[in-house]
Structure 1
Amino acid sequence: MAQFQGQDIIEIVRGGSCLRVAPQAGGRLLSWHVHGAPIIHWPDDADWSQPALVRGGNPLLFPFIARHRVDGRIGLWRDAQGVVREVPMHGFARDLPFDAHVGAQGHGVRLTLTDSTATRTGFPFSFRFEAVYRLVDETTLDVELMTTNTAAAGATATHDDRMPYYAGHHFYFALPHGQRSASTLALPRNVYRHQLADGTTTTPEAGAERYRFDDARIVDRLHCLEGAPASPVRIEMPALRRAVEIDLRRPGSIPWYAVTSWTLAPDSDFYCVEPWLGLPDAIHSGLGLRWLEPGQTEEASLRISVSTLD
């Protein structure tokens, strides 16, 4: 394994493209550089004592996304039988080690998390959650999430064996904060929502198809997609002469529910653009909640492409 910031990591290199991945730190994609330029941001001073809290890379969000509340208490969810369990912010996957397997050609890596004693208290289901990162070429990255309910199918399966979930990504795209006013986010047709302090979600309102990144209204905005996207999500950064496209229309993929935009502060040199399969607290609201039958697998795929702006 390669060494990075004093940690064992996996490096995937293809031409001028380099991915860094830390399987032991939540299966985290740390960074992506193309010809030395950062596409996915990772801080130079990352605190590896709490890697799940580092502002960078791509934390994997599973089994649920964002914050959940029961009777006003944060960090809890209620199942169909009325049992209340704990769930950390963005789920537990980003806190746990993944198994890793590099592909035979060396162009990709498969990361796998399965249920264990550590997961069953808060999420009493048998599962396999996999993330695949694959460099198609030096400017194109395919990303797949595969979720399987590994409970035995057949006559012995019960209604309680159905598994709820909604997974997602938390891509930290590199964007110098001084360039936000000149940089834009383009989206397919959408309506937007926000999560309120009590955990509920606002009613949908018509969303625009283009925003500037200095628009404070899009911090923590849930851009809910309406039907199959007719166009990719597109980030344009003219000062860097760079465009990044996220294609959410990949063959065989289940539909993405929303794209969330978020950043930490006005002077953060990143902006997160996050494809999600459901909304925060979907286990209670049903907004994007998915169910897997015993033995069933679903795949959610996307493609990220980097190009040069003229």
Structure 2
Amino acid sequence: MPMTLTQQTGPYSHWEYIHPESGDRLRIVPERGGIVTEWRCGEREVLYFDQERYADPGKSIRGGIPVLFPICGNLPGDLLEVSGVAHTLKQHGFARNLPWQLQLLEDQSGVRLTLSDTADTLAAYPFSFLVEMEIRPVAQALEIHTTIQNRSESVMPFSFGLHPYFNISDLAQTDLAGLNERCLNHLEMAETDTASQLGRLPDGVDFLCRPAGPVTLIDRTNGQQLQLQHQEPMDLTVIWTEPPRAMVCVEPWTGPRQSLISGDRKLEIQPGASFALSCRYAVS
């Protein structure tokens, strides 16, 4: 395998991708949900990653870029009914917990991660699928292109999202620009004004905004910015903080919680067809 992608043992077992021109670096752990644990852009470590917590496989990961599929958020009682049969499908789906396959892209511009159905996924979500994510560091940005293929013989409903954690200096010195003026507070499942939620970043927030354009995370301490540039339909934005962690999650989702039940922005793929999704994170 070319030296662009190499297996490393420290500080934890991972695959290291180094862009052949820019030198930007990704760290990927395919066997732990296909998670990207590091994105170093120039001298800047963009992603937050709790390595100590990661070392305990019994705990959920805090950091990197977890993948949300085939649902975002949770379902009532963790149950998804399909054709009259109830299936147990836990919060955010199973993609973030399963082993993925990793390859170097043919032109070495990034990596490809793939996930397909197993006996366990079919018990939770009775559809045969293939998810392919192409992750490319480009000039001062990270592009993520996802293709989801329905390999089953019935129409496949789904939601898809990313849950990236971004480093910030101080939650009290953090701003977000570009969000819709109204949002859904996930902690109370009630609509409210976004400004009130932004004022509570240091206290811990979890809210969803409908599309309003690019969203910019601003670190007032050092002037650094990161902008999520959505592409429809992955243009909902969830903001999550967990004090005292010096991080903010800026998450692109295709649909809100319980989308597959409510029908609100539920996506469907016909048998044998594919669906393409993209987003981009730019730093400045």
Distance of 1:51 and 1:38 partners within structure 2: 26
Distance of 1:12 and 1:63 partners within structure 2: 30
CA contact (8 A) 1:110 1:133 kept: yes
Distance of 1:52 and 1:102 partners within structure 2: 29
TM-score normalised per structure 2: 0.88
Query: Residue 192 of structure 1 aligns with which residue?
Result: 183
Question: How big is the shift at 1:290?
Answer: 0.9
Question: How big is the shift at 1:259?
Answer: 0.5
**Pairing partner for 2:40 from 18, 29, 33:** 33
Secondary structure in structure 1 of the residue aligned to 2:251? strand
Query: Residue 133 of structure 1 aligns with which residue?
Result: 135
Question: How big is the shift at 1:104?
Answer: 3.0
Closer, same or farther: CA 243–209 of 1 in aligned 2, 3 Å: farther
Query: Residue 4 of structure 2 aligns with which residue?
Result: none
CA contact (8 A) 2:175 2:217 kept: yes
Query: Residue 297 of structure 1 aligns with which residue?
Result: 274
CA contact (8 A) 2:110 2:136 kept: yes
Query: Residue 214 of structure 1 aligns with which residue?
Result: 201
CA contact (8 A) 1:183 1:213 kept: no
Distance of 1:99 and 1:43 partners within structure 2: 23
Runs of 4+, deviation exceeding 6 Å: none
Is 1:260 aligned with 2:242? no
Query: Residue 145 of structure 2 aligns with which residue?
Result: 144
Closer, same or farther: CA 213–234 of 1 in aligned 2, 3 Å: farther
Query: Residue 168 of structure 1 aligns with which residue?
Result: 161
Secondary structure in structure 2 of the residue aligned to 1:260? strand
Question: How big is the shift at 1:39?
Answer: 0.7
Query: Residue 81 of structure 2 aligns with which residue?
Result: 78
Q: How much identity, in percent, do the aligned residues show?
A: 27
Is 1:234 aligned with 2:216? yes
Q: Provide Cα deviations, 1:167-206, integer angstroms capped at 9, x if missing partner.
A: 1000101113xx2222211124453113467xxx54x556
Distance of 2:199 and 2:135 partners within structure 1: 29
CA contact (8 A) 1:65 1:89 kept: yes
CA contact (8 A) 2:144 2:278 kept: yes
Closer, same or farther: CA 100–213 of 1 in aligned 2, 3 Å: farther
Distance of 1:68 and 1:107 partners within structure 2: 37
Q: Structure 1, unaligned stretches of length 5 or more?
A: 152-156
Q: Which residue identity does 2:185 align to in structure 1?
A: H
Q: Provide Cα deviations, 1:135-167, integer angstroms capped at 9, x if missing partner.
A: 122x1111112111113xxxxx5xxx0001001
Q: Structure 2, unaligned stretches of length 5 or more?
A: 1-6
Is 1:3 aligned with 2:9? yes
Q: CA RMSD in A?
A: 2.4
Distance of 1:302 and 1:261 partners within structure 2: 16
Question: How big is the shift at 1:49?
Answer: 4.3
Distance of 2:45 and 2:147 partners within structure 1: 27
CA contact (8 A) 1:188 1:209 kept: no
Query: Residue 183 of structure 1 aligns with which residue?
Result: 174
TM-score normalised per structure 1: 0.82
Closer, same or farther: CA 168–51 of 1 in aligned 2, 3 Å: farther
